[in-house]
Amino acid sequence: MKYEGDIIRPPSEAFSLLLQVTVGCSHNRCTFCPSFKGKRFRIKGIDEIVEDLEYAARRFRQAERLFLCDGDALIIPQPRLVEILEAVRAHLPGVRRIGTYANAKSIRKKTAAELRELRERGLGIVYLGIESGNEEILRRIRKGATYERIVEAARKVKDAGITLSVTVMLGIGGAQNSTEHARDTARILTDVDPDFAGVLTVMVVPGTPLYEEARTGAFVLPGNFELLGELGIIVSQARFSNCFFTANHASNYLPIRARMPQDREKVLRLIGQVVQSNDPSLLRPESMRGL
């Protein structure tokens, strides 16, 4: 398999076959994200992709899950994307689920019929980064989408019968807007009602615009226990019908895996106990945290 640059994939795709169909991210403007800054976005040619699939058919024919890399494969025009999914089916008939990252723009560019067509050809899960439900924070981090458009896109995925996995970020509102960020994020999670929700903690990475904001004091990261306070607000105020909720990403201080709404009270008790203790030894050490 031929890869250009570092490959980013969701933690839940750790055992999936990774097929790079785009290089970089079609948006690539988020102030906090360092992942694709060194890549100029392009869609790989079908010949390149088929060559990788032929290799995979020889070496990984038993693969059951496949993830389309890089940052936003859903932006690929529908005829080419259908061609890629058909090629996956032809070369790797054992693949039962295909996943991809997406953003609100790329989802909204697809019609409902096109999303259903992708589902019928194997697209089983879409990963959507929401980050925050606060309009001002979304604008400041250059997310490229409003609250309304994010909700519209998310519902469109679910209506097509595709599993929806979303991520939000603790701390992205800074210390000044910590509570507002958490409350509005709980609200957008309620409106979206995803199948999976993952909580990450923002990490200020050198070379990003957010790092420059932090360096000048324009952005101040909340303290460790304030970040857990945000998590507590999100858990207590978000309403899910049936969601697997995690905060076990390496960036987080307190790993959590739960089924919502069944486990809400148990999770809130755990967060409350840790926050009340104010004991740093109960948190993931800084040396163990990462992107």
Residues in the chain, total:
291
Quick: pLDDT tens for 189-222. Answer: 999 999 999 999 999 999 999 999 999 999 999 9
Per residue in 68-86, pLDDT (tens digit) is 999 889 999 999 999 999 9
SS3 14: coil
Domains of the chain with bracketed CATH: 11-285 (3.20.20.70)
Q: For residue 101, what are the contacts with CB-CB under 8 A and spacing of at least 6?
A: 10, 70, 71, 72, 73, 74, 126, 127, 128, 129
Please report which helix (H) or strand (E) contains residue 100, including its range.
strand 97-102
The pLDDT of residue 89 is 96
Tens-place pLDDT, residues 229-258: 999 999 999 999 999 999 989 999 999 999
> Could you give the C-alpha distances from 80 to 1, 44, 45, 96, 165, in angstroms and in order?
20, 10, 9, 20, 24
For 142-199, the DSSP string reads T-S--HHHHHHHHHHHHHTT-EEEEEEEETTTTTTTHHHHHHHHHHHHHHH--SEEEE
pLDDT exceeds cutoff 90 at 289: no
Answer yes or no: pTM beyond 0.85.
yes
Tens-digit pLDDT profile for residues 119-158: 999 999 999 999 999 999 999 999 999 999 999 999 999 9
